[in-house]
Amino acid sequence: MWQLNLPVYNFRVKKQDNKSLIFDNQRKKYVALTPEEWVRQHFLRYIIEEKGYPAALLAVEKQLNINGLKRRCDAILYNYDAEPIAIIEFKAPNIPISQETFDQAAVYNSMLRVSYLIISNGLTHYCCKVDFVNSKYSFFQEIPDFKYLLTIK
d(CA 43, CA 37): 10
Kindly report the pTM of this predicted structure.
0.92
Q: How large is the average pLDDT for residues 5-23?
A: 93
Per-residue pLDDT tens over the stretch 30-59:
999 999 999 999 999 999 999 999 999 999
Task: Provide the CATH number for the domain formed by 13-151 in this structure.
Answer: 3.90.1570.30
For residue 2, give the nearest of 30, 22, 27 by alpha carbon.
22
Kindly tell me if the per-residue pLDDT of 64 is higher than 70: no
> What are the pLDDT digits (tens) for 78-111?
999 999 999 999 999 999 999 888 888 887 887 7
Report pLDDT digits (tens) over 134-152.
Answer: 888 899 999 999 999 888 7
Domain boundaries, the chain: 13-151
pLDDT of residue 31: 94
Read off the pLDDT of residues 65-81 as tens digits, 9 standing for 90 and up. Answer: 666 767 778 999 999 99
